[in-house]
Structure formats: C-alpha cells, structure tokens
Structure 1
Amino acid sequence: MDNPLVSIITPSFQQASFIQETIQSVLSQDYPALEHIVVDGGSTDGTVAILQKYEFYGNKFRWVSEKDRGQSHALNKGLAMARGEIIGWLNSDDTYEPHAVSRAVQALQSNPNWGVVYGDGNYIDAHSAFLRSYPVRPFGLERLYRACIICQPAAFIRREVFEKVGPFDESLQFCMDYDMWMRICKHYEFGYMDVVLANSRIHAGSKSITKYVDIGLPEVFRASIKNFGSVSNMWLLEWISFHLHLEPALIVQSLKQMNAIDDISESSLYQLLADDPVAIIDWLEEHRKTAPKWT
C-alpha cells in the first residue's frame, strides 16, 4: 500500500520546558510520509528559539508563532495548514511512543470503515516518568457518554472526518476533544488498538490540573447536553464530588444553572445531599436512567 501523508498538529503556548521532547517524539517516528505542524500562540518563554532549530527539516516541520484565540483556534489553524490524509493531534507537553504513527496508519488502511483509530495511553510526569495508565476503553456509545474513554494524543483521524463534522468548537477551552469524539461518532466508526501509542503529561501547569473543575467539567456538561441530550450520572458524580464542601442548596442551584438535572427532582437531590451525600451514587442509578440520544 502507498504511504498516505500524516499531519501531526501541535498547538502550543509557553511550553518551552517540554516542546522539544514532543517534537523529537514526532520526528523520530519510523513512518516516512509525515509532517509536523506547530501552531504557537506567541510564546515568550524560549519556545520560538526551539522551533527555529528544526527549520532544516523543510516541509516536514512547519511552524507559526502568533497570538491566537486559544487551543481550539490553534488546532483549526493547524487543520487549515495540514496537507495530510490522516491527522494526529499532539499537545506540546505530550509525546508519541515509537512506531505510533505507522501502527495507526496500518490500522486505518486495514479498516477502511474506521474514521478514527485510537490506542492506549499513559500518564507521565514532568520528568517523563510513568504515573499510571490512561483509562482507555474499547469504543462504545454508552461508554463514551459516561466518560471520555479516548486518550486524545493516542487518536488519529481521517481528514474526511473533519470535512464532514467541521472544525473544533472554538468556544471550548478544555473539552474540545471530547466534544469532537461525540460529534464524530454520529457519522463514523471508531477503531481501538490494544497498544500504547502516546503519553499524556501531567504537571503543575497542565490544564488537567489547573482548569478541570472550574472550566473542564462545566464544558463537559455543555458538550454532553449539546450532543447527547443529557449528562451521564458519572459526570454528575464527578462534579458533585468536587463540591461537597458547598451547601446542598448551592450545589443544586449550580447544577440547575448548567441544565444538568432537568430530569430529576431538585428537592430530592437537595435532601439527599443534606442527609447522606455518600448515598448519592446508588440514588442516581436508581432514579435517573440516562442514555445518549442524538441531538
């Protein structure tokens, strides 16, 4: 088979501590038809000097550094620059495992009905040491509704998918990947590979640490309601677990404002939070039978 061009897009901002390792993990792949596109948001921390060192790769490595409107906007700029038939998205603090790209391409070529293929992933720390496995699961609509089961850097997407479903939602700062998976699965099959393809880095400055509760979870609620019509019990429990220090009335009010509990009794939830918040898991499973619905 021919080797289709693969475009790896890396959105970046102030990641000089990690971006060189990210670039090396791309350019050291054994797949021959590859281009790496870094879309930097105007970093002032030494990132640009690092990017300049790789200009000798010519068209295999291209970059731009200018003010943008955030990560989703940077991804869309990268999509516009990309020439490949297959798209990968690797954040500027994440890394690929060896052979990741060639394995993904082989899987897509062997399964022409797949719009997306993804593999397993690991969490690593600031020093690239293994922390734990990412909670990846084989694809299922119900599984995706309940939680984000796809490790974003371990996913590879056919270009035609973006032509069908459109670009990343630039109103999202955190869960643009989860929103995209939900949009794609309405039209295309997902394939899963039981092999580690990428590493997702957790460090003091990562969004997974700094923005998960205040921005991430509300965005998950919004994306879930937009795509599936409701929020899963698992996501509700996740949000509640971070807010048990609040008064029950404020918890209920906040969930109502996010349109997350339109289908359950506010008074019953309030009473449970006031009396026995530990029992909320069983209560939700008994009283709230949710399922994904296309919207």
Structure 2
Amino acid sequence: MTDESDSTAHVSCIIPVYNDSVGIKNTLRSVVGQEYHGYDVYVVDNGSTDGSRRRVRNCAAESDDIQLLVEDEVQGSYAARKTGVQNAESDVLAFLDADETVDEDWLETALGAMQEQDVDYLGCNVELTCPEDTLVGRYNARTGFPVEEYLEDQNYAPTCALLVRRKVFEDVGPFDARLISGGDREFGDRVHDAGYEQGYAENATVYHPARTSLESLAKKNFRVGRGFCQKQRYYPERYGKPGIPPTPSGPSGGDDGDEPDASLTRLAFTLLSIAMLACRGVGYYYEFVVGEENDDIPAPTS
C-alpha cells in the first residue's frame, strides 16, 4: 500500500555511472530540470577512469540537488545502486541509467501513477532512441525494453526506469551486488514474492539511446548471459541449476513492414537475433566455467 502523501514525498534519484562522462552530463541536465519539487540526485561512480567523476563534481558545484557517491570496491551497477540506496534517506527511490534523459514532468507523472495505482514498485515506459541510424541501432530499438511485458510475465521492471518505496528495500533487502546483470529481475522476483503490487507508468517516459554498434550490443548480451548463470548459482531454487541455460524468450525484432527493403532487414534482424543469442550462450558458459569471483560478496538481507 502506498502512502497518502505521494504527491509530496521526497524522492532520491540514484544513477550509477561508469566511464560515461558525456552520458551522465546529459542525464543530470535532464533530471535537475524536473517540475516536481522535493527531490535530490545521487550519482554513484563505479570506478570510472575517463573523467566521469570530475564531470559529476562540476555538475554538483552548479546544483545543490546533486551529490557524488563512490563505489570502488565492487565493480557492477547493482553494487553502485546498493550504495545509493544505503546513502539516500528519501521515501521513494527512483533509478535511472547514466545515458538516459527524461521529460521535465517525468517524476511528477511517475509519482502520480504510483499513487493512483496504489503500488510501491513502479516501472516506467522506456523509449529507445537511435542517435545514429544503423542496422544494429534499429534492431536494438525493436528489441529493447518492453517494460509492461516484463512486469506482466516476469514480475520486474528494468532499473533504468524504476521507482521503489524505501520500505520495500527494508522488507526484502537491497539489490544483489554479486550480479553483473539481471539484478533487476532478481530483485523484482523478491518484491513480487513478498506480496507487493507492481505497477507500470505508460506516460512517464525515459529515453534510452539504443546501442548502435555490433560490439556494444554483443558485450551487453555476453553480460546478460553471465548474469543468468550467476542467478542460477546463487538462487538455484528459483532459476534452475547452473549448467542448463534458460529457454530463449523475448522479442525477436518486430514487424519490419515500414522498413526499406523489408525482407532484407527482416533477414538481417534474424541473423542478429541468432548472433546475440550466441553471445548470451558464450557469456553463460564463460561464467559457468571461470566465474565465482563475486562469491565473497555478501548476499542481500532485509
């Protein structure tokens, strides 16, 4: 159940960053322009070496709403988000990625949906944008973030567009800092199992740039594969025993009828889907064979 004071709740936006000085600058410009009054921003630098930390300090010098935190001990976005949760004291915690932007009414709209739907866990709409018109970018935009489907079928929303009430963390525990990927799914499963209602804000949109290079998309899928194997290692009762990867699921590219040379594009998307599935498989078995470097990190506890 949500509080009656959602419209006046204090919110902390938590944004992990790793080697993305341009992305974090754009995100902070977007977030500090919110119409909603009563929020602050915690940027958690996760061992950047490219000047991202300096960039955040400069932004913080221009706005009292921005604070820089550092998570150098554990490399991983969920470790960084966990540090943000531990340091923020707000009623509601909002999570974004460092390369995203939002409309000025995003936070107000999301909080309104949280109150209207009477939920303590809320996913936002994610719209993928293509900064460069590439085949890979169009493919990624077609297969990116069907958040409403994730919530309906898998009980989670991605941490690039998520609001959670603090009491949920106090009840089910923090993000699992051991996970290199898939920590949003694992946390969402815990939230669902604890009986919390999960909502979706269609009109609260987060703009996420699509990956436009084959290398960046392959790295993401390799990481996703590793993350699933880690979830099986730490939560076999929920995700199955390590050594048996999950059955492929999710969107395969969508309708290409509006694309020029649609048949060729459809074939290219199919080949990309096969290649990205292979990258996930390689990541999965890499983790299965040589993983376990995060096993000494404590498991999440409430």
TM surpasses 0.5 = yes
Distance in 2 of aligned mates of 1:59 and 1:5 = 15
1:133-164 deviation per Cα after TM superposition (whole angstroms, max 9, x unaligned): 632225656x117xx6x343222111111111
1:35 aligns with 2:40: yes
Moved more, 99-108 or 127-136: 127-136
1:194-215 deviation per Cα after TM superposition (whole angstroms, max 9, x unaligned): 2252122333689972433333
CA contact (8 A) 1:30 1:98 kept: yes
Partner amino acid for 1:91? Answer: D
Moved more, 212-221 or 79-88: 212-221
Which of residues 180, 183, 188 is equivalent to 1:181?
188
**Distance change >3 Å, CA 254–CA 155, structure 1 → 2:** closer
**Distance change >3 Å, CA 53–CA 127, structure 1 → 2:** farther
| Percent of residue pairs identical | 21
Match of 2:238?
228
Distance in 2 of aligned mates of 1:207 and 1:32 = 40
1:137 aligns with 2:148: yes
TM-superposed deviation, 1:40: 0.7
TM-superposed deviation, 1:115: 1.9
CA contact (8 A) 2:226 2:285 kept: no
Q: TM-score, normalised by structure 1?
A: 0.70
TM-superposed deviation, 1:25: 1.4
Distance in 1 of aligned mates of 2:56 and 2:120 = 31
- What SS does the aligned partner of 1:234 have? coil
Match of 1:98?
104
- What SS does the aligned partner of 1:53 have? helix
**Distance change >3 Å, CA 41–CA 245, structure 1 → 2:** closer
Match of 1:279?
none
**Distance change >3 Å, CA 244–CA 77, structure 1 → 2:** closer
Provide the alpha-carbon RMSD of the alignment: 3.8
1:210-247 deviation per Cα after TM superposition (whole angstroms, max 9, x unaligned): 43333312422553664634476334999x9449889x
TM-superposed deviation, 1:91: 1.4
| Structure 1 spans left out of the alignment, 5+ residues | 259-295
Partner amino acid for 1:137? Answer: E
The within-5 A match list for 1:21-170 is: 21-56=26-61, 59-65=64-70, 67-70=72-75, 71-112=77-118, 114-126=119-131, 131-132=141-142, 134-137=145-148, 143-144=153-154, 150-170=157-177
| Structure 2 spans left out of the alignment, 5+ residues | 253-272, 290-302
CA contact (8 A) 2:21 2:52 kept: yes
Partner amino acid for 2:171? Answer: K
CA contact (8 A) 2:14 2:93 kept: yes
Match of 2:265?
none
TM-superposed deviation, 1:118: 1.6
**Distance change >3 Å, CA 205–CA 226, structure 1 → 2:** farther
Aligned length: 247
